[in-house]
Chain A
Amino acid sequence: MGLLSDPNRRKALTSLLTRLNTPLCVVCYLAGIAWFMGLAFEPFTLRTYMSENAMGSTMVEERFPSGERALATGREFAAQKKKVGGMPVDWLVKTMQARGLEVFTQSFSRTLPFPDENKERFMVRGTNVYGILRAPRAPRTEALVLSAPCSPGNSNNQAVGLLLGLAQYFRSQIYWAKDIIFLVNEHDLIGMQAWLEGYHHTNITGMDFTPLQGRAGSIQAALSMELSSDVITSLDLVLEGLNGQLPNLDLANLFHAFCQKLGILCTIQGKLQRNDWDSSEGYTHSAQTMMLMVLKQASGRPWGDHGLFLRYHIEAVTLRGINSFRHYKTDATTLGRLLEGMFRKLNNLLERLHQSYFFYLMPSLSRFVSIGYYMPAFGLLAAILLLRALDLWVQIGSPAPVSQDGVGETEPPSNPGVLSILTPIVISHLTGVALYTLPILSQDTAVEHFPVSETEAVVLTAIAIYTAGLALPHNTHRLISGEATEQGWRVLKLAALLYLAVLLGCTALINFSLGFILAVTLVPAAACVTPHMPKSLGALAMVLLSPGCTIFYCIFLFQDLQEAPVTLPECCVLFLSVISQGILDHTLYGSLIYPLLALFVYPCWLLLWNVLFWK
């Protein structure tokens, strides 16, 4: 406690911190970025290992024989789908019943707040079909889920075929200790959302659905399958779920272990693993893989049908079959064996998956970075905010942590009232509320008056409000009583810095990637902004570092990493669609990114903008 109570040491420490403030901030920022980039370097990562005893040591043998028959069923399903022009509910019910499952259906309908132009849907109406295989070996208190989406067009027919084939095979086995639910969901995530809400008797997104007639035990784990060709070259593992939640790492380990056992090429983020970590290509490769994961996680959207399970505390992943031009092919029988093996191991679970990590980043399938390793990268960035806040506190001249105990201190000349900083805070938050509520509320008015579609209306209103917020500070100045003092902006900036630090800290805890990406752009803006900068230059820099532009850079980077680089105009189009998707994700699945950005991050940035134009 000597540091906190000895005035001489305190004085030395604070003077050191204020004198070296700027270099310290620069060092922290560079160190933060370097640390983050270093996470992809193999010697700094840990090798994945199976933590769960029940899945680690037990042996299972995969015997699934009938891949060809499953594909035939898939073709039959495709034919039926084409005949009915949608989900062949009757055929599915009949087929599942023929395989000895208890079959139930659930119909749902949902009107989107505005048309989804990516998937071309507005009024969605559909049916989920699911069959339950009751466990012969144990009280039916727990369940596993295998799901395949019934997508429009020609995709995912093989997934449904394989699902039905597995159902038939699983039915004849006696070792099941958990109920297995085979689910075919229509309209991908919307159907999945309806089914999950029906299963758990909740309704958080205001969807219409019929209650489920049959239920199994509490769901322990779920696998979602996407497969669109008879043979595949590799299998991609999708982990990122709603709000950046990730399944327990053991599930990924399980997948990786079986892929190795059965000789299936497995990828994550569509990238194969490389062994040459010491070469620069090897490092770039794993850095790209990790960056893709960070960007996907930061987007907060469910990147596969499994994404919605995570909210209910159910560990789930999506397996996506990929067919490229590689010579090495895997057939449906092997895929069936993979799923059989994974299900048998999950069947052995004695408790929920909880042994392994929930907070991790994966630079490759066999390597991971845990929270203890990646948090310092964020911590270094957040430290800048605190250093800056401390510096401002000293400048404001309050006696507290700085001065040598207040003796001989003169009172600060004029204490800026709380009211003077309350006005900008209230106004910027009201702008945030407008940004959150108005786009959807005012779409009808916008469509009436401008020649745009509803989706464009929503997106453009959002952008208009966002830009209009920039004009506000000039107006709020009139409201602040009298002259704006030097102290005034310092207090406002101090408040903004602390606000940002708390906000980013909380975000990073829930969704590290989002917190880190926001910190990378917002922290320099927050650290540097003063009213004494050249106005136009400062304004340009602030706009370039604003949350909206951050989204833009992320899209650009994401496309680049996916090896589908886009030009600037294309990126703008993508930007608009990403915003509409973000708003849709919020209303449809309850993703929190849009409210977070609109209600907290944007107002916080507006406070900094306010500091810049303090007169």
Chain B
Amino acid sequence: MAAPLTLVLILAVSIRAVLFRSSLAAQISERVEVVSPLNSWKRVVEGLALLDLGVSPYSGDVFHETPLIIYLFHFVVDYSEIVFMIADGITAVALYLSVKTYNKNVFRKQKYALEADRYPHDCLELMRSPKEMFYIPLKVAMFYLLNPFTILSCVAKSTCGINNAIIAIFILCTLKGSALLSAIFLSLATYQTIYPLTLFAPALLFLLQRLYIPVNPCRSSFWIYTLQYAFMFVGSLVVIVCLSFFLLGSWDFIPSVYGFILSVPDLTPNIGLFWYFFAEMFEHFRFFFICVFQINIFLYTIPLSIKLKEHPVFLIFMQIAIISIFKSYPTVGDIALYMAFLPAWSHLYRFLRNIFLVSCILLACSVLFPVLWHLWIYAGSANSNFYYAITLLFNVGQILLISDYFYAYLRREHHLSQGLYLQRKDGSEATLVLK
């Protein structure tokens, strides 16, 4: 399996290398869909220039990346293209390995359940076979590396690629069962963009499940482990933040990075939902609605964790998707990360209901973004409403997509416990209705 992966990696790197050398790179790095004020390479370069001059990179309102990133690029700025390609490669390999591990777990669990005869007899066609699962890790890596969104993001040198790599390593460490590394990378990801904080719940659930500790608030073992993991997480977060403080010598970065993410002062159009809403908003209500919008992202963690507490990996997928839809400065790179997981759920395909509609919406919207941008900014004949309409549709498409997967996942689990051919009390065939 290593050979095809290497092949995909080589293909991906050569596509990126060609694009880096072409005149397209400059155009792509200006697209609002691909770079946001947080992760635009232009701003990183500006920050580096300020740092070289001995000024705090956060003076002025241009640079909003974290100190660790700027010190990373302080050393490798000349090799930035290679760094971004490596970041993509790392993400793909990490996803590949984690999905492989996950599939092994799933298969083992299924075997035990079959041996214990826990599935109803008509569910055999829902069972997953090793043959079908064999290529899934490779497909996941391919979906990430060859996704146009990832390629665009990499060619634009958006630091989103690095954040994705951190999250992918976090997933890998979690699935491998290393609590310490998982906590460290989770804190790194949180340090980068705050929102991965919500991944704390699925990681904890997974680690608990792995150690056969029941999720039961009355049991002390549950609390001990939770506190342990939380301590590791908070500890490494504190270490990283303090490290940034010592590197920079000031706390400037806290308002400039986290304040910037949370209070959304930059309303440059992007593919997210914030900009138009807050551009139209009366200043008076701004604070209230910012709270509402930001809480919205974190709110889904609780119900989803309760519903999916047996399936933490699927919960990770859901959380990443929710973050990338509702975060304050989303870019296409964020979308690419959760889309990479779609092949891992290919066994849910038969239960998906709107996949045709949703893929049409996502496809059409991705093409319409640049068209409407052109009409609005260059031709001057359209206006921001046109662009926002497409943003809205794009996000509705994404929400439909993940809710469809969510429904399909739950449905499969339901069939696995209740039998595939449901019958009504009177013996006729029953249908499941989601209301």
Residues of A with Cβ closer than 8 Å to B?
2, 4-8, 10, 245-246, 310, 313, 354, 358-359, 386, 389-390, 393, 398-401, 404-409, 498, 501-502, 505-506, 509-510
Contact = CB atoms under 8 A, between A and B. Distances in A.
A409 B420 CA distance: 12
Contacts of B349: 399-400
Nearest to A409: B350
A-B pairs, 7 with minimum CB distance: A358-B381, A406-B350, A5-B434, A400-B355, A313-B380, A506-B371, A401-B356
B335 interface: no
Contacts of B356: 390, 393, 398, 400-401
Nearest to B381: A358
Contacts of B367: 502, 506
Given A313-B380, A505-B368, A510-B375, A401 B353 contact: yes
- The B interface is mostly helix, strand or loop, or mixed, namely helix
A407 B415 CA distance: 10
B224 interface: no
A2 B356 CA distance: 18
Given A7-B432, A505-B364, A401 B355 contact: yes
Contacts of B45: none
Contacts of B308: none
B353 A509 contact: no
Nearest to B378: A313
Nearest to B365: A502
Given A6-B433, A400-B355, A245 B381 contact: yes
Interface string B264-299: 000000000000000000000000000000000000
Query: Which of A358, A389, A400, A501 has the most chain B CB atoms closer than 10 A to its own CB?
Result: A400
Nearest to B379: A245
A50 B407 CA distance: 53
A8 B360 contact: no
Nearest to A494: B356
B357 interface: yes
Contacts of B433: 5-8
Contacts of A409: 350
Interface in B296-318: none
Interface string B359-388: 010011001100110110011111000000
Contacts of B353: 4-5, 10, 400-401, 405
Contacts of A313: 378-380
B interface, size bucket: 35 or more
Contacts of A401: 353-357
B129 interface: no
Nearest to B348: A406
Contacts of A501: 364
Query: Which of A8, A10, A313 has the most chain B CB atoms closer than 10 A to its own CB?
Result: A313
Given A6-B434, A505-B364, 15 more contacts: A8-B433, A399-B351, A400-B349, A400-B354, A400-B356, A401-B353, A401-B355, A401-B357, A405-B432, A407-B431, A498-B363, A501-B364, A502-B367, A509-B371, A510-B371
A401 B360 CA distance: 12
B431 A7 contact: yes
Contacts of B407: 5
A70 to B, nearest CB: 34
A498 B432 contact: no
A498 B360 contact: yes
18 contacts: A4-B353, A4-B400, A5-B433, A7-B433, A358-B382, A386-B360, A400-B353, A401-B355, A401-B357, A407-B422, A407-B429, A407-B431, A408-B421, A498-B363, A505-B368, A506-B368, A509-B371, A509-B382
B132 to A, nearest CB: 11
Contacts of A406: 350-351
A200 to B, nearest CB: 13
B380 A358 contact: yes
Contacts of B380: 313, 354, 358
Given A10-B353, A401-B354, A401-B357, A509 B375 contact: yes
B368 A510 contact: no
A407 B421 CA distance: 7
Nearest to A408: B421
Nearest to B408: A406
B28 interface: no
Given A5-B434, A506-B371, A399 B350 contact: yes
Nearest to A314: B380
A359 B407 CA distance: 42
A326 to B, nearest CB: 36
Interface in B386-428: 400, 407, 411, 420-422
A316 to B, nearest CB: 13
A129 B360 CA distance: 53
A407 B371 contact: no
Nearest to A410: B125
A593 to B, nearest CB: 15
B137 to A, nearest CB: 18
Contact of B435 (A5, A246, A389, A399): A5
B388 to A, nearest CB: 15
B352 interface: yes
Contact of A4 (B354, B372, B374, B411): B354
A4 B435 CA distance: 10
B355 A359 contact: no
A5 B354 CA distance: 9
A509 B354 CA distance: 26
A505 B368 CA distance: 9
B291 to A, nearest CB: 27
A313 B422 CA distance: 63
B354 A407 contact: no
Nearest to B350: A406
A487 to B, nearest CB: 16
Nearest to B420: A407
Contacts of B381: 245-246, 358-359
A404 B351 CA distance: 10
B431 A404 contact: yes
Nearest to A247: B381
Contacts of A408: 421
Query: Which of A398, A408, A509 has the most chain B CB atoms closer than 10 A to its own CB?
Result: A509
Interface in B324-354: 349-354
B421 A400 contact: no
A400 B346 CA distance: 13
Interface string B146-184: 000000000000000000000000000000000000000
A431 B432 CA distance: 49
Given A5-B433, A498-B363, A405 B351 contact: yes
A203 to B, nearest CB: 14
B374 A510 contact: yes
Query: Which of A4, A10, A393, A406 has the most chain B CB atoms closer than 10 A to its own CB?
Result: A406
Contacts of B360: 386, 389, 498
A598 B344 CA distance: 39
Contacts of B357: 401
B434 to A, nearest CB: 4
A399 B422 CA distance: 18
Contacts of B431: 7-8, 404-405, 407
Contacts of B432: 7, 405
Contacts of B372: 509
A342 B353 CA distance: 59
B377 to A, nearest CB: 9
A506 B433 CA distance: 37
Nearest to A401: B356
A21 to B, nearest CB: 15
Contacts of A506: 367-368, 371
Contacts of A505: 364, 368
B373 to A, nearest CB: 11
A400 B374 CA distance: 35
A440 B355 CA distance: 44
Nearest to B407: A5
A90 B356 CA distance: 68
A409 B421 CA distance: 12
A359 B372 CA distance: 13
